[in-house]
Amino acid sequence: MDRHLINNSHIKSFQEDGVVLVKGLFKDFVDIIRDGIDYNIKNPGPYSAENLHAGESGRVFDDYCNWSRIPQFKDVIFQSRVGEVAAALMSSKKVQLFHDHVLVKEPGTSKPTPWHQDGPYYFVEGIQNVSFWCPVDQVTDASLRCVAGSHLWAKPVLPTKWLSEEDFYAGEDKYMPVPDPDLEGMRVLEWTMEPGDAVAFNYGILHGARGNETNSRRRAFSLRLLGDDAVYVERPGPTSPPFPGHQMKVGDSLREDWFPTIFETR
């Protein structure tokens, strides 16, 4: 592994804190990602959402599971070194794609991204997993914020619907309430980021983001990847993304024709 990309210190931080900054991971793909995001906004998919109430300032757009129809996203997934880096961080021999995700906060958006963990929304479990969050605009105040070590908590955080703030799974006692990391004095990590940098974090990391009250856009591209121990699980309700018709059973590895391997050690 190129020591200018990641080294043993990055791997140690990812394993212990559950999150680490990888400088320049997508620096050669910034323009490609921008083109893909612009296309995605103009041609939204079935899961696209506008995440503001009437009267709230700005715009928060997100969409996911578009890599198979947007060539720019496919290029990033299969031609960048993200699979190699993911394998090293996860200590995994194989890396599968779970899905892609676009998140855009336009200038003057005061609404923050609520605190949440990704894992409880998904129908997959396994400690070998990683999300990469890559801005294609310079980011300071609107950066991702991650609670160090939260992937090791005894209970996962109850997932909620972003717009309505309702619980995702009704009457479920296997989850802890959403905490307030700032009020509770948790160790929150955030970075000033250049286009092409990426925050790598475990699906169990509690994270959120401030609003974007700057005069610049904050466009981010995320990839959710899986390692050797990933298996399908049932949740107490519908998952997000839902992947209807997947036909997997509890304990199955994720099907390769839907979730392709993007890197494997030889």
Q: What is the pLDDT of residues 177-220, one digit of tens each?
A: 999 999 999 999 999 999 999 999 999 999 999 989 889 999 99
3-state secondary structure of 64: strand
Q: In this structure, is residue 256 part of a structural domain?
A: no
> How far apart are alpha carbons 260 and 98 in whole angstroms?
8
Q: In this structure, is residue 254 part of a structural domain?
A: no
User: Residue 111 gets which letter from DSSP?
Assistant: P
What does the pLDDT read at residue 166?
61
Which CATH number fits the domain that encloses residue 19? 2.60.120.620
Q: In this structure, is residue 266 part of a structural domain?
A: no
Containing structural domain, residue 151: 8-247
- Residue 121 and residue 205 in contact, taking contact as beta carbons nearer than 8 Å: no
Q: Count each helix (H run) and each strand (E run) in the chain, helices first.
A: 4, 14
What does the pLDDT read at residue 255?
98
pLDDT greater than 60 at residue 1: no
Q: 3-state SS string over the chain?
A: CCCCCCCHHHHHHHHHHCEEEECCCCHHHHHHHHHHHHHHHHCCCCCCEECCCCCCCCCEEEEECCCCCCHHHHHHHHHCCHHHHHHHHHCCCEEEEEEEEEEEECCCECCCEEEECCHHHCCEECCCEEEEEEECCCECCCCEEEECCHHHCCCCECCECCCCCCECCCCCCCCECCCCCCCCCCCEEECCECCCCEEEECCCCCEEECCECCCCCEEEEEEEEECCCCEECCCCCCCCCCCCCCCCCCCCCCCCCCCCEEEECC
- The values of phi and psi at residue 58, to 5°, are 85, -155
Q: In this structure, is residue 167 part of a structural domain?
A: yes
Q: How confident is the model at residue 57 (pLDDT cuts 50, 70, 90)?
A: confident
Q: How confident is the model at residue 42 (pLDDT cuts 50, 70, 90)?
A: very high
What is the mean pLDDT of the segment spanning 39-58?
Answer: 86
Q: How confident is the model at residue 171 (pLDDT cuts 50, 70, 90)?
A: low
> How far apart are alpha carbons 190 and 145 in whole angstroms?
5
What is the mean pLDDT of the segment spanning 101-113?
Answer: 92
Residue 245: Cβ within 10 Å count: 6
Q: How confident is the model at residue 3 (pLDDT cuts 50, 70, 90)?
A: low
Query: For residue 262, what is the enclosing H or E element?
Result: strand 261-264
Amino acid at residue number 37: I
Q: In this structure, is residue 53 part of a structural domain?
A: yes
- Residue 120 and residue 175 in contact, taking contact as beta carbons nearer than 8 Å: yes
| pLDDT tens digits along 228-259 | 999 999 998 889 999 999 999 999 999 999 99
Q: In this structure, is residue 257 part of a structural domain?
A: no
Q: In this structure, is residue 226 part of a structural domain?
A: yes
User: What is this structure's pTM?
Assistant: 0.93
Q: How confident is the model at residue 71 (pLDDT cuts 50, 70, 90)?
A: very high
Domains contained in the chain, number: 1
Q: In this structure, is residue 260 part of a structural domain?
A: no
User: What tokens does 118 get?
Assistant: 């990704």
